[in-house]
Amino acid sequence: MICVISIYHNPKCSKSRKTLEILRKKKKKPKVIHYLIEAPKDFEIIRIANMLNKKVSEIVRLKDISIEHESLLLSMDNYSISKWLSDNPKYIERPIVINHKKNKAVICRPPEKVLEVL
């Protein structure tokens, strides 16, 4: 069976846990990707950004990085940022839910935004 919904999940994040809870209450069985353990490849990050209709720089969790890193990142191209995020997945904004059937994704902040892709 092909997975229709995936969630890039961090179990330590309350927003991520709440999003997963909403999915399960809606009777969805998402593929749970623990991205801190199983980091997405650079090309996957670019694909996710495209499904979000965002630049790769817009899915960086800026509140967790220093001003110096932020300035450096914002001067990089999409591919370079995606490579950096693949090597440093803790800086990927979370949670991200993908509906593969609709080819659409959403950053679930707040968690209820998950409803946009269902």
| End-to-end Cα, the chain, rounded Å | 18
Closest by Cα among 53, 40, 69 to 102 = 53
Q: What is the pLDDT of residue 91?
A: 94
Q: What is the pLDDT of residue 105?
A: 98
- Which residues are annotated as catalytic? 13
* Same domain membership, residue 63 and residue 48: yes
Closest by Cα among 20, 16, 85 to 47 = 85
> Per the structure, how many domains does the chain have?
2
* Same domain membership, residue 75 and residue 57: yes
1 is written with which tokens?
């069976």
* Same domain membership, residue 85 and residue 50: yes
pLDDT per 10-residue tile (average), the chain, 118 residues: 88 98 97 97 98 96 81 88 96 97 97 98
The rounded Cα 96 to chain-centroid distance in angstroms is 3
Domain span at residue 113?
Answer: 1-35+94-118
State the Cα–Cα distance between residues 104 and 118, nearest whole angstrom: 9
User: Phi and psi dihedrals of 48, rounded to 5?
Assistant: -65, -45
* Same domain membership, residue 31 and residue 1: yes
52 is written with which tokens?
């979000």
* Same domain membership, residue 7 and residue 29: yes
* Same domain membership, residue 67 and residue 50: yes
